[in-house]
Amino acid sequence: MNTEINCDMGESFGIYRMGDDASLMPLITEANVACGFHGSDPNHMRATVKLAKQHGVRVGAHPSLPDLQGFGRRAMAIEREELANIIIYQVGALAAFLKAENMELNHIKPHGALYGMSAKNSEVAHAVCDAADVFGVPIFGMKHTEHEKVYVERGHTFVAEFYADLGYDDSGGLIITREHDAVEPDFASKRVTRAISEGLVDSVNGVSVKVGAESICVHSDTPNAVEVAQAVYDAVAS
Protein backbone atom coordinates (compact mmCIF):
# COMPACT_ATOMS: atom_id res chain seq x y z
CA MET A 1 0.00 0.00 0.00
CA ASN A 2 1.29 3.45 -0.91
CA THR A 3 -0.86 5.05 1.79
CA GLU A 4 -0.19 4.10 5.40
CA ILE A 5 -2.86 3.34 8.01
CA ASN A 6 -2.26 4.45 11.59
CA CYS A 7 -4.27 3.82 14.73
CA ASP A 8 -4.37 5.52 18.14
CA MET A 9 -4.19 2.56 20.51
CA GLY A 10 -2.71 1.01 23.63
CA GLU A 11 -5.09 3.15 25.67
CA SER A 12 -6.24 0.63 28.29
CA PHE A 13 -5.38 1.51 31.89
CA GLY A 14 -4.94 -0.91 34.76
CA ILE A 15 -7.91 -3.29 34.75
CA TYR A 16 -9.88 -1.00 32.41
CA ARG A 17 -9.91 -2.09 28.80
CA MET A 18 -10.33 0.19 25.81
CA GLY A 19 -10.26 -0.88 22.18
CA ASP A 20 -9.68 -4.23 20.48
CA ASP A 21 -5.99 -3.74 19.71
CA ALA A 22 -5.43 -7.40 18.86
CA SER A 23 -8.02 -7.28 16.06
CA LEU A 24 -6.92 -3.85 14.82
CA MET A 25 -3.20 -4.52 14.61
CA PRO A 26 -3.32 -6.72 11.45
CA LEU A 27 -5.19 -3.92 9.63
CA ILE A 28 -2.69 -1.11 10.18
CA THR A 29 0.90 -0.20 9.36
CA GLU A 30 1.60 2.23 12.22
CA ALA A 31 0.52 2.20 15.86
CA ASN A 32 0.30 5.45 17.84
CA VAL A 33 0.82 4.15 21.37
CA ALA A 34 -0.53 6.07 24.36
CA CYS A 35 2.21 7.06 26.80
CA GLY A 36 0.41 7.23 30.14
CA PHE A 37 -0.90 10.79 30.33
CA HIS A 38 -4.31 10.21 28.71
CA GLY A 39 -4.40 6.43 28.75
CA SER A 40 -2.17 3.37 29.14
CA ASP A 41 0.37 2.46 31.81
CA PRO A 42 3.73 0.64 31.79
CA ASN A 43 2.20 -2.82 31.41
CA HIS A 44 -0.10 -1.84 28.56
CA MET A 45 2.63 0.13 26.80
CA ARG A 46 4.94 -2.90 26.86
CA ALA A 47 2.14 -5.24 25.74
CA THR A 48 1.17 -2.96 22.84
CA VAL A 49 4.77 -2.72 21.67
CA LYS A 50 5.06 -6.51 21.74
CA LEU A 51 1.80 -6.87 19.79
CA ALA A 52 3.01 -4.41 17.17
CA LYS A 53 6.30 -6.27 16.83
CA GLN A 54 4.42 -9.53 16.32
CA HIS A 55 2.52 -8.02 13.38
CA GLY A 56 5.39 -6.03 11.87
CA VAL A 57 3.70 -2.71 12.70
CA ARG A 58 5.84 0.38 13.22
CA VAL A 59 5.35 2.19 16.53
CA GLY A 60 5.08 5.90 17.22
CA ALA A 61 4.51 7.81 20.45
CA HIS A 62 1.11 9.35 21.14
CA PRO A 63 1.82 11.89 23.91
CA SER A 64 -0.93 13.91 25.53
CA LEU A 65 -1.65 16.76 27.85
CA PRO A 66 -1.57 15.55 31.49
CA ASP A 67 -5.30 14.82 31.61
CA LEU A 68 -5.96 11.17 32.42
CA GLN A 69 -9.48 11.83 33.70
CA GLY A 70 -10.44 13.78 30.56
CA PHE A 71 -8.65 11.35 28.24
CA GLY A 72 -6.45 14.18 27.00
CA ARG A 73 -9.32 15.80 25.14
CA ARG A 74 -9.54 18.99 27.22
CA ALA A 75 -7.41 22.02 26.37
CA MET A 76 -4.92 23.21 28.99
CA ALA A 77 -2.78 26.35 29.26
CA ILE A 78 0.87 25.21 29.60
CA GLU A 79 4.00 27.20 28.80
CA ARG A 80 6.18 26.02 25.93
CA GLU A 81 9.13 24.70 27.96
CA GLU A 82 6.94 22.76 30.37
CA LEU A 83 4.89 21.35 27.50
CA ALA A 84 8.01 20.21 25.66
CA ASN A 85 9.21 18.49 28.83
CA ILE A 86 5.84 16.77 29.26
CA ILE A 87 6.12 15.40 25.72
CA ILE A 88 9.76 14.34 26.11
CA TYR A 89 8.87 12.49 29.32
CA GLN A 90 6.17 10.45 27.59
CA VAL A 91 8.05 9.73 24.36
CA GLY A 92 11.11 8.73 26.37
CA ALA A 93 9.09 6.13 28.27
CA LEU A 94 7.81 4.54 25.07
CA ALA A 95 11.27 4.69 23.50
CA ALA A 96 12.58 2.62 26.41
CA PHE A 97 9.96 -0.07 25.89
CA LEU A 98 10.78 -0.11 22.19
CA LYS A 99 14.47 -0.52 22.99
CA ALA A 100 13.59 -3.45 25.25
CA GLU A 101 11.99 -5.14 22.22
CA ASN A 102 14.81 -4.14 19.81
CA MET A 103 12.48 -1.77 17.96
CA GLU A 104 12.93 1.85 16.91
CA LEU A 105 10.66 4.80 17.49
CA ASN A 106 8.97 5.55 14.15
CA HIS A 107 7.23 8.87 14.76
CA ILE A 108 5.53 11.24 17.18
CA LYS A 109 1.86 12.13 16.97
CA PRO A 110 0.28 14.42 19.59
CA HIS A 111 -3.02 13.22 21.02
CA GLY A 112 -6.41 14.85 21.38
CA ALA A 113 -6.46 18.43 22.60
CA LEU A 114 -2.68 18.70 22.20
CA TYR A 115 -3.07 17.76 18.54
CA GLY A 116 -5.84 20.30 18.03
CA MET A 117 -3.98 23.05 19.88
CA SER A 118 -0.78 22.51 17.90
CA ALA A 119 -2.75 22.71 14.65
CA LYS A 120 -3.85 26.26 15.50
CA ASN A 121 -1.22 27.65 17.87
CA SER A 122 2.34 28.02 16.60
CA GLU A 123 3.78 28.19 20.13
CA VAL A 124 2.28 24.78 20.93
CA ALA A 125 3.52 23.42 17.59
CA HIS A 126 7.00 24.68 18.47
CA ALA A 127 6.80 22.88 21.81
CA VAL A 128 6.07 19.66 19.91
CA CYS A 129 9.13 20.34 17.74
CA ASP A 130 11.27 21.07 20.79
CA ALA A 131 10.48 17.57 22.00
CA ALA A 132 10.84 15.99 18.55
CA ASP A 133 14.32 17.51 18.27
CA VAL A 134 15.42 15.07 20.97
CA PHE A 135 14.25 11.98 19.08
CA GLY A 136 14.74 12.91 15.42
CA VAL A 137 11.66 11.16 14.07
CA PRO A 138 8.82 12.35 11.78
CA ILE A 139 5.80 14.13 13.23
CA PHE A 140 2.24 13.34 12.17
CA GLY A 141 -0.21 16.18 11.66
CA MET A 142 -2.72 17.91 9.44
CA LYS A 143 -1.90 19.60 6.16
CA HIS A 144 -2.70 23.32 5.77
CA THR A 145 -2.32 23.93 9.53
CA GLU A 146 0.40 25.06 11.94
CA HIS A 147 1.47 21.41 11.98
CA GLU A 148 2.72 21.59 8.43
CA LYS A 149 4.00 25.16 8.65
CA VAL A 150 5.98 24.87 11.88
CA TYR A 151 7.18 21.27 11.59
CA VAL A 152 8.53 21.83 8.08
CA GLU A 153 10.10 25.18 8.99
CA ARG A 154 11.85 23.47 11.89
CA GLY A 155 13.29 20.81 9.56
CA HIS A 156 11.19 17.88 10.72
CA THR A 157 9.71 15.29 8.39
CA PHE A 158 5.98 16.01 8.30
CA VAL A 159 3.46 13.24 7.60
CA ALA A 160 0.02 14.52 6.59
CA GLU A 161 -2.80 12.37 7.89
CA PHE A 162 -6.50 12.06 7.20
CA TYR A 163 -9.08 10.98 9.77
CA ALA A 164 -11.47 8.33 8.53
CA ASP A 165 -13.67 8.41 11.62
CA LEU A 166 -13.80 12.08 12.66
CA GLY A 167 -15.72 15.02 11.26
CA TYR A 168 -14.14 18.14 9.75
CA ASP A 169 -15.42 21.68 10.17
CA ASP A 170 -15.83 24.17 7.32
CA SER A 171 -12.26 25.47 7.77
CA GLY A 172 -10.78 22.00 7.48
CA GLY A 173 -10.21 21.57 11.21
CA LEU A 174 -10.96 18.40 13.10
CA ILE A 175 -13.99 18.15 15.35
CA ILE A 176 -12.55 16.52 18.47
CA THR A 177 -15.15 15.11 20.86
CA ARG A 178 -14.75 13.57 24.31
CA GLU A 179 -16.27 10.31 23.04
CA HIS A 180 -16.31 8.97 19.49
CA ASP A 181 -19.54 7.80 17.87
CA ALA A 182 -19.78 4.77 15.62
CA VAL A 183 -19.05 5.46 11.95
CA GLU A 184 -20.62 3.69 8.99
CA PRO A 185 -17.76 1.67 7.42
CA ASP A 186 -18.91 2.36 3.84
CA PHE A 187 -19.03 6.08 4.61
CA ALA A 188 -15.47 5.95 5.98
CA SER A 189 -14.31 4.01 2.93
CA LYS A 190 -15.70 6.57 0.49
CA ARG A 191 -14.20 9.48 2.44
CA VAL A 192 -10.78 7.82 2.43
CA THR A 193 -10.94 7.11 -1.29
CA ARG A 194 -11.77 10.74 -2.06
CA ALA A 195 -9.14 12.09 0.33
CA ILE A 196 -6.46 10.00 -1.37
CA SER A 197 -7.56 10.64 -4.97
CA GLU A 198 -8.71 14.28 -4.72
CA GLY A 199 -7.22 15.63 -1.49
CA LEU A 200 -10.70 16.67 -0.39
CA VAL A 201 -13.35 15.75 2.17
CA ASP A 202 -16.81 17.13 2.89
CA SER A 203 -17.15 19.00 6.17
CA VAL A 204 -20.06 18.26 8.49
CA ASN A 205 -21.91 21.04 6.63
CA GLY A 206 -21.11 19.69 3.18
CA VAL A 207 -18.27 22.07 2.33
CA SER A 208 -15.37 20.52 0.42
CA VAL A 209 -12.14 21.19 2.35
CA LYS A 210 -8.54 20.34 1.46
CA VAL A 211 -6.79 17.54 3.33
CA GLY A 212 -3.58 15.53 3.16
CA ALA A 213 -3.68 11.74 3.20
CA GLU A 214 -0.21 10.23 3.39
CA SER A 215 -1.45 8.18 6.34
CA ILE A 216 -5.05 7.39 7.27
CA CYS A 217 -5.98 7.45 10.97
CA VAL A 218 -8.53 5.29 12.73
CA HIS A 219 -9.26 5.32 16.45
CA SER A 220 -9.35 2.22 18.62
CA ASP A 221 -12.03 3.78 20.87
CA THR A 222 -14.56 4.19 18.05
CA PRO A 223 -17.35 1.70 18.96
CA ASN A 224 -17.06 -0.21 15.65
CA ALA A 225 -13.35 0.47 15.19
CA VAL A 226 -12.47 -2.94 13.72
CA GLU A 227 -15.17 -2.69 11.03
CA VAL A 228 -14.06 0.84 10.17
CA ALA A 229 -10.41 -0.21 10.02
CA GLN A 230 -11.26 -3.13 7.74
CA ALA A 231 -13.15 -0.80 5.39
CA VAL A 232 -10.23 1.64 5.37
CA TYR A 233 -7.76 -1.20 4.75
CA ASP A 234 -9.81 -2.42 1.78
CA ALA A 235 -10.10 1.11 0.37
CA VAL A 236 -6.37 1.77 0.64
CA ALA A 237 -5.44 -1.62 -0.76
CA SER A 238 -7.75 -1.35 -3.78
Rounded CA separation 119/122 (Å): 8
Q: Is the pLDDT of residue 227 over 80?
A: yes
Mean of the per-residue pLDDT values of the chain: 96
pLDDT in tens, 89-128: 999 999 999 999 999 999 999 999 999 999 999 999 999 9
- Give the other-Cβ count within 10 Å of 111's Cβ: 26
Side chain identity at 11, as an amino acid letter?
E
Q: In the prediction, which pLDDT does 28 show?
A: 98
Rounded CA separation 152/157 (Å): 7
Q: Are 66 and 90 in contact (CB under 8 A)?
A: no
Predicted model pTM = 0.94
Q: In the prediction, which pLDDT does 211 show?
A: 96
Please give the share of the chain, as a percent, with pLDDT higher than 70.
100
Q: What are phi and psi of 45, to 5 degrees?
A: -60, -50
Q: In the prediction, which pLDDT does 53 show?
A: 98
Mean pLDDT for the stretch of residues 24-45: 97
Q: Is the pLDDT of residue 1 over 70?
A: no
Rounded CA separation 7/229 (Å): 9
pLDDT in tens, 161-211: 999 999 999 999 998 777 778 899 999 999 999 999 999 999 999 999 999
Q: In the prediction, which pLDDT does 198 show?
A: 96
Q: In the prediction, which pLDDT does 163 show?
A: 96
User: From start to end of the chain, where are the E strands?
Assistant: 4-9, 30-34, 58-62, 105-108, 139-141, 158-163, 200-202, 208-210, 215-219
Side chain identity at 122, as an amino acid letter?
S
Q: In the prediction, which pLDDT does 80 show?
A: 98
Mean pLDDT for the stretch of residues 133-141: 98
